[in-house]
Amino acid sequence: MAARDQSLLIVEDDPALRGYLASALGDEGYVVQQGQDRATALACLASVTPPGLMLLDLGLPPAPSAMTEGLAVLEECLRLAPATKIIVLTGQDERAAALEAVRRGAFDFLVKPATVATIIQALRRAELFAGEETRMAEAGEARVHLTARLAEGPKEVAAAAEEQLLRRVLAETDYNIAETGRRLGMAREHVYYYLNKYGIRRPG
């Protein structure tokens, strides 16, 4: 089981899928809340401590094929809890909706059916960025600024942003792996994983 206590809200109208994800991600150490529509999602968001992460199905009742309810939840979440990292879930033929969600502020999107391993990877990437933004805020710095080519899709943009963040922190720590891991809230082995993933080597 992963050593984490990150809060996670799953908003999904399919009770079987919602329960399965809640159980699997709870086993990974996430503190899971569940919602099945806009009203239950907003009730969780309005709590004293809103969730740090959200998995949001864009197709919610009463209009599960229109995406309007999911996008409304996204916008309300960003208003009530702007620090929450939102990963939207979409169907195979809903790329336009996913792009719109990212344009409106979603952190990432996954196409259903997504494996638990894929979801965990996306959640951990979101945690990485949230941790860096918190560190910067505590240091009195502006929130992390990342650049990406406009022609790229959300997946490519997320990977580029991930690589930029890692390279930035490595440079700030003079490629000290332990300190880089501490700043990003990652174990040393995870830092090495990303170094290998992006082919990053210490200069010189």
Cβ proximity of 21 and 110 under 8 Å: no
Cβ proximity of 178 and 189 under 8 Å: no
Mean pLDDT of 65-90: 87
| Domain shared by 14 and 73, yes or no | yes
Domain CATH number, residue 54: 3.40.50.2300
Q: Which has more confidence, 150 or 106?
A: 106
pLDDT confidence band for 195 (50 / 70 / 90): confident
| Domain shared by 105 and 152, yes or no | no
pLDDT confidence band for 103 (50 / 70 / 90): confident
pLDDT confidence band for 96 (50 / 70 / 90): confident
- Average pLDDT for the chain: 80
| Domain shared by 78 and 16, yes or no | yes
Is there a domain that residue 13 lies in? yes
DSSP 35: E
Q: What pLDDT, on a 0 to 100 scale, did the predictor assign at position 11?
A: 96
Q: What pLDDT, on a 0 to 100 scale, did the predictor assign at position 116?
A: 93
| Domain shared by 113 and 155, yes or no | no
| Domain shared by 24 and 114, yes or no | yes
Q: How many domains are contained in the chain?
A: 2
Residue 188 has pLDDT above 90, yes or no: no
Is there a domain that residue 159 lies in? yes
Q: What pLDDT, on a 0 to 100 scale, did the predictor assign at position 6?
A: 86
> CB pairs under 8 A, 24+ apart, for 58-67?
58/88, 58/89, 58/90, 58/94, 58/97, 58/98, 58/101, 59/13, 59/90, 59/91, 59/94, 60/11, 60/13, 60/36, 61/13, 61/36, 61/37, 62/37, 64/13, 67/94, 67/97, 67/100
CA–CA separation, 184 and 58 (whole Å): 29
Is there a domain that residue 193 lies in? yes
| Domain shared by 81 and 35, yes or no | yes
pLDDT-wise least confident of 7-16, 51-60, 104-113, 126-135 = 126-135
The residue range of the domain holding 173 is 146-198
> Based on C-alpha coordinates, what's the Rg of the chain?
17
| Domain shared by 70 and 156, yes or no | no
Mean pLDDT of 26-55: 90
Rounded to two decimals, the pTM is 0.67
Mean pLDDT of 101-122: 87
Mean pLDDT of 11-36: 94
Q: What pLDDT, on a 0 to 100 scale, did the predictor assign at position 97?
A: 79
CA–CA separation, 134 and 129 (whole Å): 9
Is there a domain that residue 126 lies in? no
| Domain shared by 112 and 170, yes or no | no
Is there a domain that residue 182 lies in? yes
Q: What pLDDT, on a 0 to 100 scale, did the predictor assign at position 33?
A: 94
